[in-house]
Amino acid sequence: MSKRLRVLALASYPIESASSRYRITQFIEPLAARGIDVTFSPFLDPSLFADLYEPRRLLQRLPRLALATFRRLGAIVRAARADVVFVQREAMLFGPPLVEWIAARVLRRRMILDLDDATYLTYRSPVYGRLATWMKWPGKTDRLIRWSSVVTCGNPNIAADVRARGGEAIVIPTVVDTRLFHPRETPNDEPVIGWIGTHSTYPFLERLMPLFEQLAREHRFRLTIIGSGRAGIDTRPWSMDAEAQDFRSFDIGVYPLAGDAWNARKSALKAVQYMASAVPFVMSPVGVCATMGVPGETHLLATTDEVWLTALRRLLTDPGLRARMGRAGRKYAEEHYSVEGVADVLAKVFLDHRP
């Protein structure tokens, strides 16, 4: 009987974060069935993560943040017992890559880095501004790339950057469980245009507000905004337990993005969630988003305000088109973004880089 592979998965964020949930924890059970035991170890606990976008509350919890930093050193002991250390972005939210350095360079454990965002780029936080940039260790991700046996990348754009930095890269898309994300059974009384996101991505949606106001003068629909951190009509907080249900409550999804270097390297999870939920959507063709699904069949692309208006009008006034696009998107998600398929690829990466 072959020995089971032991993987220690380190991440800054708990399961409430999409990066941890969709890049690590949803694969724990499928990987166990393939002879790989994954132990998930986040830096932040759920309450600290919930306070992350509210600086005043996070500052009040500085003692707990310091305790989390101290406890993180315990990951070194767990790394010594693991065969492979899998790092999702970084082991700690700030500071130098001390844990990763000890695991990879001192303990000589095989390290695999996972990047679903381009953390090697300078990014200005919309919540913390320059403070977040100062707390990030300069060149941290570049070091992690050099110390890793391979980097699993959320999309080809990140993979190309990793290879340009001298790292080995393999593309593993961010997917969802299509058993959990599935089509709605009963129709809405009126069309619902929906968006789910965070404080940091809300400004992209905010730029569409004048268009929604114009559409509201022409057509009957309801706009639902989830996770923005803002108050308003049919605006509510994001909930992990309600996420899949919230997606399938929409008739039309929107996925606006800015055309900068950071967004050009996003892994387009929202597009996968819309397609799995059989929700037709309108999306900015930025980076990998320009290659997701089949434009015109699973969704529509929009660049200018006029194109956004035209696309939303088409979907609002044509229930048949919405239904056809929804079915096409669902089929595409089932064929290209399955958990089992990605688990096979991830398992091979771990097994190929075992000690």
**Domain at 127, CATH number:** 3.40.50.2000
Tokens of 84: 């492979």
Whole-number Å distance between alpha carbons of 254 and 279: 10
The pLDDT value recorded for residue 133 is 61
The pLDDT value recorded for residue 231 is 59
The strands making up 169-171's β-sheet, listed across from edge to edge, are 36-42, 5-11, 84-88, 110-115, 150-153, 169-171
- Do 332 and 343 have their domain in common? no
Residue 77 in any domain: the answer is yes
- Do 38 and 124 have their domain in common? yes
The pLDDT value recorded for residue 113 is 98
The pLDDT value recorded for residue 66 is 84
- Do 243 and 115 have their domain in common? no
CB 87 within 8 A of CB 167: no
- Do 203 and 88 have their domain in common? no
Neighbours of 60 (CB within 10 A): 11
The pLDDT value recorded for residue 211 is 96
CB 226 within 8 A of CB 194: yes
Q: What is the pTM of this model?
A: 0.93
Residue 183 in any domain: the answer is no
- Do 138 and 197 have their domain in common? no
- Do 162 and 271 have their domain in common? no
Residue 226 in any domain: the answer is yes
The pLDDT value recorded for residue 2 is 67
- Do 22 and 100 have their domain in common? yes
- Do 330 and 346 have their domain in common? no
Residue 254 in any domain: the answer is yes
CA–CA distances in Å: residue 256 to residues 195, 208, 283, 344, 350: 9, 8, 6, 32, 35
The pLDDT value recorded for residue 266 is 92
- Do 115 and 254 have their domain in common? no
The pLDDT value recorded for residue 277 is 98
Residue 316 in any domain: the answer is yes
Where in the sequence is the domain holding 215, given as residue range(s)? 192-336
- Do 158 and 14 have their domain in common? yes
CA 52, distance to chain mean position in Å, is 17
- pLDDT beneath 50: ranges in the chain: 1
Query: What is the count of structural domains for the chain?
Result: 2
- Do 169 and 211 have their domain in common? no
Dmax (CA) for the chain in angstroms is 68
Residue 180 in any domain: the answer is no
- Do 94 and 166 have their domain in common? yes
Closest CA to 265 of 242, 288, 295: 288
Residue 48 in any domain: the answer is yes
